[in-house]
Amino acid sequence: MPEHSHAGRHAPGVSSCGAARPALDDIDRRLINELQGGFPLVARPYEAVARTLGVDEAELLARLRRLLDAGVLSRFGPMFQIERAGGAFCLAAMAVPDAYWERVLAQVNSHDEVAHNYRREHRLNMWFVLATETPAGIADCARRIEAATGVAVHLFPKEREYFVGMRLEAR
Amino acid sequence: MNASTSKLISAGPLLDETDRRLIRATQGGLPLVPQPYLAIAEQLGIGEAEVAARLAAMLENGLIRRIGAVPNHYALGYTANGMSVWDVDDEVVDAAGERIGALACVTHCYRRPRHRPHWPYNLFAMVHGGSREEVRRHVADILLLLMRDFTGRLRGHEVLFSTAILKKTGLRLRD
């Protein structure tokens, strides 16, 4: 599969916080709000969805491509929960001294297992998600980060998830 | 590192090699072509019906949460996000979590282990808004709910605002 035909190779960069907000029309908003799940497993799914939005298949594909390119959508496709396949996710946090911030950040981000990483205002100032194919991989990756940085990695495994009803709405 | 990861072990279905190839082929997104499942099938050398059947099975067993658009919060104007964290009595934390998760402003709500003495919090609720003020108003609503319906059970809370996305690649199975 050539790269350009994939939805979602245009993941937003590391500093989209202050980016200008792209203009969305009503069809874009409906597409975003109504298509966060339930994409059909039929031969021509885009055509089926386009009909419900009142556009044709080619226009829906063009809009999806534009929303992905603009970073409004970070991806279009299946959202996997890899822990259901024996893999694991785990939230982790570190208290990184300012003087070592860049060095620790580069070290942490160099691990493929680090899926998301956010800076937060707290003594624990670096919060990231580890995603590994086996539960043992979490502790193993945390130990490797600790060994390389000399900073403790605190693990916050999910003990229970509470039902969340609403998804983010384009408004 | 001071938390047990034993709770992460799940007895989920094991993947066969075709499943793993299907995940690798779709984890970056579906092909934006009229017949995306056919395109994936051709890439993997299996039938289109098998692609659909395997994806349907993954939806059924929860390996796929859903198939669709994954919006970028920031691009939708949700420029502020606060991780609100709460120290709630263990006896009522699940009841409180169910109530907080049901609030419209909360996009994720989890119970996680405490790391005493520095981290007394066991309930995490991610709150999104158009500004920090909006996030703070939502957090105040959560606080009111807990004080009213779980009186005396809340010992403290904090809100951790994010100041930068340092990495966001999502989940990847390695090739």
| C-alpha closest to that of B167 among A9, A138, A100, A119 | A119
- The answer as to whether A3 is a domain residue is no
> Domain count of chain A?
2
Check CB contact under 8 Å for B13 and A122: no
Task: Tell whether B57 and B97 lie within a shared domain.
Answer: no
Mutate to test the interface with A, among B32, B60, B94 (most CBs of A within 10 A): B32
A157 HSE (CA, 13 A, CB side): 21
Report the gap between the CA of A49 and the closest CA in chain B (Å).
Answer: 11
Q: Of all residues in chain B, what percent carry a pLDDT higher than 90?
A: 64
- The answer as to whether A161 is a domain residue is no
Q: What is the pLDDT of residue A168?
A: 63
**pLDDT mean across residues, chain B:** 87
Q: What is the pLDDT of residue B158?
A: 97
Separation CA A84–CA A135 (nearest Å): 11
Q: What is the pLDDT of residue B11?
A: 37
Check CB contact under 8 Å for B39 and A109: no
Q: Which domain holds residue A72?
A: 24-79
For the record, the structure tokens of B59 come out as 């939806």
Across the A:B interface, residue pairs with CB atoms under 8 Å apart total: 335
The residue of chain B nearest to residue A123, with distances taken between CA atoms, is: B118
Task: Tell whether A113 and A47 lie within a shared domain.
Answer: no
- The answer as to whether B175 is a domain residue is no
Task: Tell whether A75 and A90 lie within a shared domain.
Answer: no
Which backbone phi and psi does A81 adopt, to 5 degrees? -110, 90
CATH number for A42: 1.10.10.2890
Task: Tell whether A28 and A39 lie within a shared domain.
Answer: yes
Q: Distance of alpha carbon A31 from its chain centroid, rounded?
A: 19
- The answer as to whether B46 is a domain residue is yes
For residue B115, what is the DSSP state? B
Contact B70, A76 (CB under 8 A): yes
Nearest 5°: the CA angle A71, A77, A80 is 110
Task: Tell whether B54 and B84 lie within a shared domain.
Answer: no
> Which of B72 and B156 is assigned the larger pLDDT?
B156
- The answer as to whether A88 is a domain residue is yes
pLDDT tens per residue across span B9-67: 333 457 889 999 999 999 889 999 999 999 999 999 999 999 999 999 999 988 898 99
Check CB contact under 8 Å for B113 and A156: yes
| HEC readout, chain A | CCHHHECCCCCCCCCHHHCCCCCCCHHHHHHHHHCCCCCCCCCCHHHHHHHHHCCCHHHHHHHHHHHHHCCCEEEEEEEECHHHHCCEEEEEEECCCHHHHHHHHHHHHCCCCEEEEEEECCCCCEEEEEEECCHHHHHHHHHHHHHHHCCCCEEECCCEECCCCCCCCCC
User: What mean pLDDT is predicted for residues B119-146?
Assistant: 95
Chain B residues whose CB is inside 8 A of the A68 CB are 29
pLDDT tens per residue across span A151-164: 999 999 999 999 77
Q: What is the pLDDT of residue A17?
A: 34
Q: What is the pLDDT of residue B113?
A: 97
| C-alpha closest to that of B41 among B63, B62, B15, B22 | B22
In this prediction, residue A43 has a pLDDT band, given cuts at 50, 70 and 90, of very high
Check CB contact under 8 Å for B163 and A121: yes
CATH number for B35: 1.10.10
- The answer as to whether A119 is a domain residue is yes
Is the pLDDT at B3 greater than 70, yes or no?
A: no
The residue of chain A nearest to residue B20, with distances taken between CA atoms, is: A85
Is omega for the bond preceding A157 within 30 degrees of 0, making it cis? Answer: no
Task: Tell whether B83 and B27 lie within a shared domain.
Answer: no
- The answer as to whether A69 is a domain residue is yes
Burial class (CB in 10 A: 0-12, 13-18, 19+), A23: exposed
- The answer as to whether A12 is a domain residue is no
The residue of chain A nearest to residue B6, with distances taken between CA atoms, is: A135
Q: What is the pLDDT of residue B75?
A: 77
Q: Distance of alpha carbon A35 from its chain centroid, rounded?
A: 17
Task: Tell whether A91 and A144 lie within a shared domain.
Answer: yes
In this prediction, residue B107 has a pLDDT band, given cuts at 50, 70 and 90, of confident
Which pTM was predicted?
0.70
Report the gap between the CA of B76 and the closest CA in chain A (Å).
Answer: 6
Is the pLDDT at A48 greater than 90, yes or no?
A: yes
- The answer as to whether B112 is a domain residue is yes
pLDDT tens per residue across span A91-140: 999 999 999 999 999 999 999 899 889 999 999 999 999 988 888 999 99
Check CB contact under 8 Å for A37 and B165: no
Task: Tell whether A42 and A71 lie within a shared domain.
Answer: yes
Q: What is the pLDDT of residue A3?
A: 36
Q: What is the pLDDT of residue A165?
A: 56
- The answer as to whether A15 is a domain residue is no
| C-alpha closest to that of A86 among B57, B60, B65, B16 | B16
Nearest to A162 among B101, B104, B115 (CB): B101
Q: Distance of alpha carbon A57 from its chain centroid, rounded?
A: 26
Is the pLDDT at B95 greater than 50, yes or no?
A: yes
Task: Tell whether B55 and B85 lie within a shared domain.
Answer: no
Plot region of B77 (φ>0 → left; ψ -120 to 50 → alpha; else → beta): left
| C-alpha closest to that of B80 among B18, B25, B127 | B127
Task: Tell whether B97 and B138 lie within a shared domain.
Answer: yes
Q: What is the pLDDT of residue B172?
A: 58
Tally Cβ neighbours within 10 Å of residue B102. 15
CATH number for B97: 3.30.70.920
Chain A residues whose CB is inside 8 A of the B14 CB are 85-86
Task: Tell whether B93 and B117 lie within a shared domain.
Answer: yes
Mutate to test the interface with A, among B2, B4, B5 (most CBs of A within 10 A): B5
- The answer as to whether B52 is a domain residue is yes
Chain A residues whose CB is inside 8 A of the B175 CB are none
Which backbone phi and psi does A152 adopt, to 5 degrees? -65, 140
pLDDT tens per residue across span B83-92: 999 999 999 9
> Domain count of chain B?
2
Contact B171, B27 (CB under 8 A): yes
- The answer as to whether B68 is a domain residue is no
Mutate to test the interface with A, among B76, B91, B146, B169 (most CBs of A within 10 A): B76
> Which of A8 and A21 is assigned the larger pLDDT?
A21
- The answer as to whether A18 is a domain residue is no
CATH number for A144: 3.30.70.920
Is the pLDDT at B2 greater than 50, yes or no?
A: no
In this prediction, residue A149 has a pLDDT band, given cuts at 50, 70 and 90, of very high
- The answer as to whether B143 is a domain residue is yes
Q: Which residues contact B50 (CB under 8 A, 6 or more apart)?
A: B18, B41
Torsion of CA A170, B86, B100, B153, to 10 degrees: -160
Q: Which domain holds residue B131?
A: 74-161
